[in-house]
Amino acid sequence: MGKLHLKSFVSGVCLGSVLFAGITYASASKLISLDVIQQPTTFYFDGIPKSPPEGHDSFLYKNTTYVPLRFVAENLGKSVIYDGKTASVYIGQLPATKMLSKLQAVELIRQTYGQDFPQNAVVEYHHTNENGHYVIHVYSEIVNNVSTGDSYTRSYGWYAVNPSSGSVQRIL
């Protein structure tokens, strides 16, 4: 009977670890904490002072003022559409041709090359290159020493994704 309980316990721990690792891996967004200065700001559109809706104030972070996008766009006569599925914001007219978002480019790399790197690898948009292609980095953070937190980054590759055609090129 003792072996059965130990076997069940170990199986349960392994199953729980896999489930929680999957939940962590599935989290695509990053939660960050910022130290910001929030102060009343007056916005002028063609010389006319306007204020954003209550609860949608601007803030100052690293000497840059961040304002509610919808407030600014609509005061400039532009519509704003947010597509949560692709994490895309459209201001004014929609693109004439269908283009991949950065989020869709990351998913394309995961689907196309996912078998080439470990399941826990991070697939992340890095920047847009001079050709207008999204550069995606695939890597893992490897901990050398748990007690000191020493770690290094293991890169599995860099990819360029053409947002217009969806073509992928491995660049490193």
Quick check: 14 pLDDT over 70?
no
pLDDT at 10: 52
pLDDT tens track for 123-143: 999 999 999 999 999 999 988
In angstroms, rounded to a whole number, what is the distance separating the alpha carbons of residues 161 and 106?
9
The H helix count followed by the E strand count for the chain is 3, 10
Quick check: 78 pLDDT over 90?
yes
pLDDT tens track for 141-153: 988 888 888 989 9
**Residue 50 structural domain:** 43-78
In angstroms, rounded to a whole number, what is the distance separating the alpha carbons of residues 147 and 150?
8
51 and 110, same structural domain?
no
More confident residue, 18 or 139: 139
Residue 47 in any domain: the answer is yes
Question: Cα-atom radius of gyration of the chain, to the nearest Å?
Answer: 23
pLDDT tens track for 46-62: 888 888 888 888 888 88
Quick one: how far is CA 5 from the chain centroid? 43
Q: Residue 56 to residues 24, 35, 40, 41: CA-CA distances in angstroms?
A: 31, 17, 11, 11
Residue 168 in any domain: the answer is yes
111 and 57, same structural domain?
no
Quick check: 164 pLDDT over 60?
yes
Residue 50 in any domain: the answer is yes
Which parts of the chain fold into alpha helices (H)? 2-26, 69-75, 102-113
pLDDT at 23: 46
